[in-house]
Amino acid sequence: MLIRNTFYNLLGLGLPLLVAIGSMPVLIHHLGDARFGVLTLIWAVVSYFGLFDLGLGRALTQQLSVLIAEKREDDIPPLAYTSLLLLTGLGVFAGVLMWWGATWGAHRISYSGDITEIVGSIRVMAVAMPFIVLTSGLRGILEAKLAFGIINLIRLPMGIFTFIGPVMVVLWYKNDLVAITAVLTVGRIIACLVHGYYAARSLPGMFGNRRYRPELVKTLLVSGGWMTVSNIVSPLMGYLDRFLIGATISAAAVAYYVTPNEMLTKLWIIPGALTAVLFPRFASNLIENSQDSALLFKKAVLTLLLVIYPLTLFTDVYAKEILQIWINPTFAEKSYVLMQIFSFGILINCLAHIPFTLIQGAGKAKTTAFIHTAELPFFALVLWLCATHFGLIGAAFAWLVRILIDTVIMFVQAGKIIDVRRTVNQPQILIFLFAFVTLSFSIGYISSEFIKAALFLVSNVILFSYSWRFLVDRNERISIIAKVSSKLHFYGVK
């Protein structure tokens, strides 16, 4: 179930990215650089205004999962109805704010074309805001019911439509931003209605028992509010480095820093797909059986390590070659060391998604909010000092240190919720594993291509063998072997 739902999420999140790669050159060609830039800014504004759900979508998932685990069926419809009513109000407020701020925002953009086109586009997207915000709550209901197949059945075509829709407009109608945003708005409205249909089917009494419970509002807002703090502060730290580099080094340096960083952060869709499934599972398991949560935690971390490690190690070992093929040799020479640093950091950061999800699933979003808020000023200071004195390498190391510290804190806080000793009772096993993984990322500095390739393969074999021997217990090994044998037998392999 866990693997299947994660695979659904990977399809729903990953395939639209492939469509985006193909559609962007078409849009740039027909719209021109400036108007395509405006379109991306409008997308960014819509994404930012999506934060007006105040984390209520995820808070609803967490609280519904608890009610479902405790079999409190009578409390489910009022919670769902109250949450959706609140989200509708927030969405309308966000839409009104976006509508009235359209003229002011349009004049802040350096644009030589018709400014009324930008104003019209923003106002068209403002109409979609109530539906966008409400969709987060409806998706939260489906996640609590573990209906990830349905979620991605909706997400996949809508994600593709986000890029194909504008292409269809510029190819078969005209190069008009208002028309493009109108098509996107229609898509968002349809997506909301489809989510509502399936959410109502998953909770039959959701609309039949329309009871608004004002006492639930405070609980939802507190839980969702703390999640929103993390959702704002964490991305802010993610973008702070590039702004400081532009201010302390140069604008050109930002490209050398951001390009490998952006490439590697696309790997976040893998932990994102997994944690979307884990969140309601953690919320319900912590109510029913904390031991199950500990075993699920271990399984998730190990699975993520075994999936992400080969990918990030490959980008570390062949960073220069990748950038030479993708960009050019000159760019690669200035950026490949940064890519090596980011490769290791992204591996560590991906693992941190699991304890982060556990903490929020346990209803302790306040903890993650405090952690990120406390990290921000220290990171800003260290980043400024490192970028000023050591340039891009210094900035990258400041980023890496923050990632390492954040990950350690997240795992320590997760250990206060579950009994970590149930997962690995010998700390030296983890110490050796971390030391080995860290050391293996030095392979990229070896000049011999043959030795690099050999060590890359050997490192992966050692990690998988070590994990199988020391991190997978006997019962799990028997179960895995049985499942693999069954699959091979099914396909006629003996």
Residue 408 — very low, low, confident or very high, per pLDDT cuts 50/70/90? very high
Report how far residue 165's alpha carbon sits from residue 183's, in angstroms, rounded to the nearest whole number.
Answer: 6
Nearest alpha-carbon partner for 353 in 407, 309, 311: 407
Average pLDDT over residues 444-464: 92
Per the structure block, which two tokens stand in for 76? Answer: 């489910």
pLDDT tens-digit readout, 144-163: 887 878 888 888 888 888 88
pLDDT score for 424: 61
pLDDT tens-digit readout, 179-200: 888 988 998 899 999 999 898 8
pLDDT score for 258: 76
DSSP, collapsed to helix, strand or coil, labels residue 238 as: helix
Nearest alpha-carbon partner for 13 in 236, 276, 234, 261: 276
Average pLDDT over residues 30-55: 67
pLDDT score for 477: 72
Which sign, positive or negative, has the C-alpha torsion 221, 227, 230, 231? negative
CB 8 within 8 A of CB 87: no
Question: Computed over its alpha carbons, how large is the radius of gyration of the chain?
Answer: 24
Residue 55 — very low, low, confident or very high, per pLDDT cuts 50/70/90? confident
Which sign, positive or negative, has the C-alpha torsion 91, 97, 99, 102? negative
Report how far residue 290's alpha carbon sits from residue 398's, in angstroms, rounded to the nearest whole number.
Answer: 36
pLDDT score for 289: 56
pLDDT value at 417 more than 80: yes
pLDDT tens-digit readout, 221-257: 666 666 667 767 776 777 677 777 777 776 567 778 8
pLDDT score for 425: 62
What 168-175 contacts at long range (C-beta under 8 Å, 24+ apart), as own/partner pairs, is: 170/26, 170/27, 170/30, 170/31, 171/26, 171/30, 175/30, 175/31, 175/35
CB 138 within 8 A of CB 197: no
pLDDT score for 201: 85
Helix residue ranges per DSSP H, 32-173: 33-49, 56-69, 76-100, 102-107, 115-144, 148-172
Of residues 147 and 420, more confidence is placed in 147
Of residues 172 and 464, more confidence is placed in 464
CB 387 within 8 A of CB 244: yes
Average pLDDT over residues 470-491: 68
pLDDT score for 407: 94
DSSP assignment letter at 209: S
Report how far residue 128's alpha carbon sits from residue 138's, in angstroms, rounded to the nearest whole number.
Answer: 15
pLDDT tens-digit readout, 136-149: 888 888 888 878 78
| Other beta carbons less than 10 A from residue 299's beta carbon | 17
pLDDT tens-digit readout, 358-368: 988 787 878 88
Average pLDDT over residues 395-422: 87
Distance of CA 171 to the CA centre of its chain: 32
CB 177 within 8 A of CB 117: yes
| Other beta carbons less than 10 A from residue 240's beta carbon | 19
pLDDT score for 266: 80
Of residues 64 and 491, more confidence is placed in 64
pLDDT value at 441 more than 90: yes
Of residues 348 and 332, more confidence is placed in 348
